[in-house]
Amino acid sequence: MLSKIAQILKPSPTLALAAKAKELAAQGKDVVSLTVGEPDWPTFKVAANAGIAAIEKGLTKYTAASGIPELKKAVAENTNFLLATNYTAKEVVIGAGAKFLIYAALAMVVDPGDEVLIPSPYWVSYPAMVGLVGATAKIVICSKGENFKLTAPALKASITAKTKMLILCSPSNPTGLVYSKAELHELAQVLLANPQVLILSDDIYCQLIFNGDNVAPHLLQVAPQLKDRLIIINGASKTYSMTGWRLGWALGPEKVMSILGDFISQTTSNASSIAQYAALEALKSGQPELKIALATLTRKMNWCVDQFQSLKLFKVIPPDGAFYLWVDVSGFFGKSIAGTKIQASKDVSQILLDSYFVATVPGVEFGADSYVRLSIAASDSDLQKALLRFKDFENSAI
């Protein structure tokens, strides 16, 4: 009954594990969920108020399939401000979340049989979405020694005649590490020498960085000439705490954006009109709340990194941005906890959930089995509880 593609499709593990944690909580278990990557603080006030106003004004009908012109213009202006680019509204498409736009972009530029390069560790949905369009996800393993980042020699060695696209995400989900301008410059040289390779730059965490800059370094800052073969994906979910509103955007060559708009018009139609007006206000006047959210996030992250550094078997890699902690748990491999021998990241996550009621995502889902990923955009009390439980977990390893 099912198509070939349906038969290989698996649900998103981050969303599945978050659902499992909610299920246990509904059964009365005191579960701390550090699974899904979403801020625990509310949607920014300016955005929420604009959403309410949109409903009250009756802005609740179909909009242009690829988004309202005001929002496209604001997205272009915001991106130009952050990256010193020169996008116009014609090079912008609004869609129902960054995730859908990544899929839509793949569907519009990648053919079955093409290879898409995905540096590992990677966000769980990239290989799945490449599979959904019938292309081949070519995973490029990036080692701890290289800070889990793609290097120019590794990129060069991975490109073949079939390579259609490279997906780059900085700050990275799951590591939170950010490519420096120098690292991007080296990658850009390889990309410039291989003009058939398109780039999908997933910038969803680009403003969530801890060094005080307003944006993470970007390929277009070091090689603006890549603009005609680069697609930016971004959105309101993480920056403005709007995960449930489902609002994302893409920027890229007009030809690609135009077909992306057609794809949207034949699939989802416009992203929620209410969410579009909310995001418009967030882009225009969300800066003060973003400053507060970033201070909160930085404080939480510093606290967690400090706490983990007093543990022996969990080893954290302090991130530069996003809201994930990428924790090396290989120190537990070969040891036993609660009668179970630990051999893989899934064992660590399973025991943490079953015996300590802390939900995490095993690294194997991101392509690296020695790690677990924690989302630390949780409440302070949940983080404190989780850390005590990680200590207990470590102390009971034999």
Binding site for ligand PMP (CB under 6 A): 37, 97-99, 123, 169, 173, 202, 204, 235, 237, 243, 248
Q: Which partner from the list ligand GLU, ligand PMP, none does 235 bind, CB cut-off 5 to 8 Å by kind?
A: ligand PMP
Kindly tell me which residue out of 158, 173, 234, 239 binds ligand GLU, with binding defined by CB under 6 A: 173
Q: Residue 323 or residue 332: which is nearer to ligand GLU going by CB?
A: 323
In this structure, what DSSP letter does residue 363 have?
A: G
Task: Give dist(CA 305, CA 184) in Å, integer.
Answer: 26
Q: Helix (H, G, I), strand (E, B), or coil: what is residue 74?
A: helix
Binding mask 320-339 for ligand GLU (x = CB under 6 A): --------------------
| 65 versus 337: smaller Cβ distance to ligand PMP | 65
Binding mask 7-26 for ligand GLU (x = CB under 6 A): -----x-xx-----------
Rounded to whole angstroms, the maximal C-alpha distance in the chain is 63
For residue 37, state whether it binds ligand GLU (rule: CB under 6 A): yes
Dihedral sign for Cα 166, 167, 171, 173, please: negative
- State in angstroms the smallest separation of the CB of 125 from ligand GLU: 6
d(Cα 49, Cα 246) in Å, to the nearest integer?
A: 17
Q: Which option in ligand GLU, ligand PMP, none does residue 12 bind, with CB closer than 5 to 8 A by kind? A: ligand GLU
Question: How far, in Å, are 40, 322, 373 from residue 357 at the CA level?
Answer: 19, 24, 15
Cβ proximity to ligand GLU: between 17 and 46 the closer is: 17
As a dihedral over the C-alpha atoms of residue 285, residue 203, residue 252, residue 166, rounded to 10 degrees, the angle is 180
Interaction partner, residue 119 (ligand GLU, ligand PMP, none; CB < 5-8 Å by kind): none
* Cβ atoms of residues 276 and 68 within 8 Å: yes
Q: Which is nearer to ligand GLU, 14 or 163 (CB)?
A: 14
State whether residue 202 is helix, strand or coil. strand
Size of the site for ligand GLU (CB under 6 A): 10
* Cβ distance to ligand PMP smaller for residue 43 or 173: 173
- Measured between alpha carbons, how far is residue 309 from residues 173, 314, 316, 369, 384 in Å? 21, 8, 7, 21, 15
Contact 274, 280 (CB under 8 A): no
Residue that has been written with the tokens 């404080």 in this structure: 299
**Is the Cβ of residue 93 or residue 359 nearer to ligand GLU in the bound state?**
359
**97 interacts with, out of ligand PMP, ligand GLU, none, CB within 5 to 8 A per kind:** ligand PMP
User: How many helices and strands (H and E) does the chain possess?
Assistant: 14, 15
Helix (H, G, I), strand (E, B) or coil at 232: strand
> Of the two residues 125 and 396, which places its CB atom closer to ligand GLU in the complex?
125
Gap between the Cα atoms of 110 and 184, Å rounded: 24
CB 282 → ligand PMP: shortest distance, Å? 13
Shortest Cβ distance from residue 374 to ligand PMP (Å)? 14
What is the contact surface with ligand GLU in residues (CB under 6 A)?
Answer: 12, 14-15, 36-37, 99, 123-125, 173
